[in-house]
Amino acid sequence: MSPATSHSPVWHPFTQHALEPVMKRIVRTEGAYLVDAQGNRILDAISSWWVITHGHRHPAIMQAIRDSSEAYDQIIFAEYTHEPAEALAAGLIDIAPTGLAHVFYSDSGSTCVEVALKMALGFFHNSGAPRRRVVVMEHGYHGDTIGTMSTGERGAFNAAYEPLLFGVDRLPFPTPGHEQDTLGAFETFCATGQVAALLVEPLVLGAGGMKMYPATVLAELKRIAERHQSLLIADEVMTGWGRTGTMFACEQAGIVPDILCTSKGLTGGALPLAATLCTAAIFDAHLSTDRRRTFFHSSSYTANPIACAAALANLEVWKNEPVAERINALSAMQEERLAPFRNNRHFADARRTGTIVALDLDVPAGGYLAEIGPRLRAFFRKRNLLIRPLGNVIYLMPPYCVTAEELDCVYSAIEEAAALAAVGSL
């Protein structure tokens, strides 16, 4: 039995327990930090898997959780509604790209994408002209349920489940100079008349390696979809809530997706909640006196009132605090520190979109399972930095409260790690 499993029955996500050391126990979170049982303060440079936006335990969000728990626990959402869900839906419609009119709640990034896929197929089914194909982008990641794995990149992480996965059509990633290949492939798929929807992460493909592409490509994909009456589903689970510099990444392309998926930063990262926003046309296609046209989806914890109250408080934080200014300042601080890495011979690429930065360590064998990944992680761990490279891709996605000094520490650790890796001493 490995040390990691000897003391705990807990099976951790994306964790090879045979290789990992015993998990550190976190006893408190605070701003940009996790505090462990020994009192070490660990800088959370990836916002605890991209969920924490303003910082851990934002006071207004925590207060809303305390207050709402005086009135609510879970309420069956197929039978009743409640103020936090109603107010939040109105608030989301308000801040989302204009044209999204309805909000369907769920509880994770994966489930809000599953909901989106079902909405898209349901739309065509109920319209009497079913379409069966879903188009996605190479290197995409949309979650770990069967449906979302089907739409994500195939590899070691889903090879065992292959028999359960459905087929999708894949666009090549729009690398610089090859954007037309992506657009041409989409046009060809759409020309079959069978494409229900394009499901895509706008501007940044997260788990696929923080791959970034320009807003002009996204805008053109939307135009092609419109020409063929196919839907565009924007998976903003990671990109939403300011990460790319705007509230939603779609704004930078000037597009209104037919369906928008949001989770992670929806509650500022404090509680699990997700929402799938859609146009009136999609809702109306399910509106009928014929009960067979109902949108048949639910989960027990749909629209948990306490999570909705946390999300409402998050909306207030965005209204009352200079969040956009913080995001601009963080983006500028990131750019300043990233710039020298663009000429650093240890890195094959260094890029940024908004607050998100990614650096590809130049190694002979890259990819998600690159053997350098765990060594980098162990190096950062020793320095009390929470950074989890995606193979050889070191990325940073800090909460918006991170300071210039904290970023300095992070970048000098990255520089040191790269230098050590280059001489085989990491």
Ligand X SMILES: Cc1ncc(COP(=O)(O)O)c(C=O)c1O
Q: Which is nearer to ligand X, 84 or 208 (CB)?
A: 208
Count of C-beta atoms within a 10 Å radius of residue 163: 5
Q: Which is nearer to ligand X, 143 or 147 (CB)?
A: 143
Q: Which is nearer to ligand X, 379 or 395 (CB)?
A: 395
Q: How far is the CB of 108 from ligand X (least distance, A)?
A: 4
- Rounded distance between C-alpha atoms, residue 346 and residue 419, angstroms: 7
Phi, psi of 121 (to 5 degrees): -70, -35
In the bound state, the residue with its beta carbon closest to ligand X is 109
Q: How far is the CB of 269 from ligand X (least distance, A)?
A: 11
Report CA dihedral (378, 380, 383, 386) to the nearest 10 degrees: -110
Per CB under 6 A, residues contacting ligand X are 108-110, 113, 141-143, 201, 206-207, 235, 237-238, 263
Place of tokens 């079902």: 118
Tell how strand 100-106 and strand 274-279 pair up.
Answer: antiparallel
Q: How far is the CB of 128 from ligand X (least distance, A)?
A: 31
Q: Which is nearer to ligand X, 147 or 206 (CB)?
A: 206
- Rounded distance between C-alpha atoms, residue 231 and residue 250, angstroms: 14
Residue 345 per-residue DSSP state: T
Q: How far is the CB of 124 from ligand X (least distance, A)?
A: 23
- Rounded distance between C-alpha atoms, residue 58 and residue 60, angstroms: 6
Q: Which is nearer to ligand X, 120 or 333 (CB)?
A: 120
**Burial grade of 48 (CB within 10 A; 0-12, 13-18, 19 or more):** middle
| 169 CB-near residues (< 8 Å, 6+ apart) | 133, 134, 135, 136, 189, 195
Q: How far is the CB of 49 from ligand X (least distance, A)?
A: 6
Residue 240 per-residue DSSP state: T
Q: Which is nearer to ligand X, 210 or 418 (CB)?
A: 210
Q: How far is the CB of 67 from ligand X (least distance, A)?
A: 25
